[in-house]
Amino acid sequence: MKILSLILPLAFAWGGEAQTPEQRLAAMIGPSQMQVVQNYRKAYKTAYTLPQWNALLKQGRQMEETLSKPLSARYESWNQKGPQPDFSWVEPLVPGMKVTYQAEGTVLIMALDYTAFAKLAARTPEPADDQLVSLLIKAQGDHASPWPNWFMRTWDYGGCTQLGTGLHLEILKELQRQQKTAPFFQAELKRVREDLFRDFAQIRSFCQPQAKVLKEVSALMAVPGLSLAEQKTLKGLQTELKTSKKAEYNCLKEMSNCRFGQ
């Protein structure tokens, strides 16, 4: 009886004891979006070719936004009233996606699970999807995130860039290669490239010492095939690093000297 008394309030908090996870999700996102989820789930089970894998990835990107908004609204309304509710039950209903949390655990985001898409890519005969998902994991980690791997968070809303470790250069070179050989994935590659150059344009807290940062910037400028805008961004960064007193260096070892975006 004691266990039952704990379970029942939780069941009713989700909209009633009798609801299945499928019914619960449909109630939260609406019937039309639930149909999208069901179609996606069928496609996920039968994706064995590169075009099918690519279509599934595009659908997943759209669902990151369309699912996150209603689920986060429901999550935030409960989160304000009591203990954090568990949304892990959503993941089996939407394979290839993960429930993640941002903003000190106050916002729920549905994110593409790159490790799941890597397993799907292994089912297709072509290597291009394997190479793309490998790049996405190198750039962002096991799942999609607003915080790329080249950025070290020191608090929930900021940190320092890892420019100077060689990761930016490695990713840029791989982007150049794939943009020549994988026309299927231009939108994904463009997305990673824009994130990379946004780091060059905006972040001025550096985890590494100045000498290492400048060395990698010089190497980045030597990569063939940069657009004029990209060349301008890197040249401006190089000049600023040599002359500006606003840049913060070696932030992981000299944390008291860095603001980390605050």
Higher pLDDT, 56 or 104: 56
124-143 pLDDT, tens digit per residue, is 999 999 999 999 999 999 99
Domain boundaries, given as residue ranges, for the chain = 1-125, 147-262
pTM value is 0.89
State CA 114 to chain mean position distance. 9
In the predicted model, what is the mean pLDDT of residues 105-109?
91
Cβ partners under 8 Å of residue 29, min gap 6 = 37, 66, 67, 70, 71
**Rounded CA gap, 53 and 42, in Å?**
12
167-177 pLDDT, tens digit per residue, is 999 999 999 99
- The yes-or-no verdict on residue 6 having pLDDT over 90 is no
* DSSP category for residue 15: T
Tokens representing 224 are 């063939």
Identify the weakest region by mean pLDDT among 47-51, 137-141, 180-184, 258-262: 258-262
**Rounded CA gap, 51 and 117, in Å?**
14
In this structure, the number of other CB atoms found within 10 A of the CB of residue 188 comes to 19
Q: Where are the beta strands (DSSP E) in 103-230?
A: 107-112, 151-155, 158-161
In the predicted model, what is the mean pLDDT of residues 4-23?
54
Unique residue bearing structure tokens 């394997």 = 130
* Confidence at residue 262, expressed as pLDDT on a 0 to 100 scale: 61
* Confidence at residue 2, expressed as pLDDT on a 0 to 100 scale: 35
* Confidence at residue 19, expressed as pLDDT on a 0 to 100 scale: 85
Q: Report CA-CA distances (Å) from 109 to 41, 162, 207.
A: 19, 25, 27
* Confidence at residue 9, expressed as pLDDT on a 0 to 100 scale: 36
* DSSP category for residue 220: H
- The yes-or-no verdict on residue 152 having pLDDT over 80 is yes
Higher pLDDT, 153 or 189: 189
- The yes-or-no verdict on residue 92 having pLDDT over 90 is yes
What percent of the chain shows pLDDT beyond 70?
A: 91
Single out the residue of 4, 25, 6, 3 nearest to residue 14, CA to CA.
25
**Rounded CA gap, 100 and 67, in Å?**
12
Helices 186-202 and 228-243 pack at an angle, to 10 degrees, of 20
**Rounded CA gap, 68 and 109, in Å?**
5
Residue type for 253, please? K
217-246 pLDDT, tens digit per residue, is 999 999 999 999 999 999 999 999 999 888
172-219 pLDDT, tens digit per residue, is 999 999 999 998 999 999 999 999 999 999 988 999 999 999 999 999
110 burial class (0-12, 13-18, 19+ CB within 10 angstroms)? buried
Rg (Cα) of the chain, in Å, rounded?
22
* Confidence at residue 251, expressed as pLDDT on a 0 to 100 scale: 93
Is the CB of residue 137 less than 8 Å from the CB of residue 118? yes
What mean pLDDT, rounded, does the chain reach?
90
In the predicted model, what is the mean pLDDT of residues 16-21?
71
Identify the weakest region by mean pLDDT among 5-19, 114-128, 178-192, 240-254: 5-19
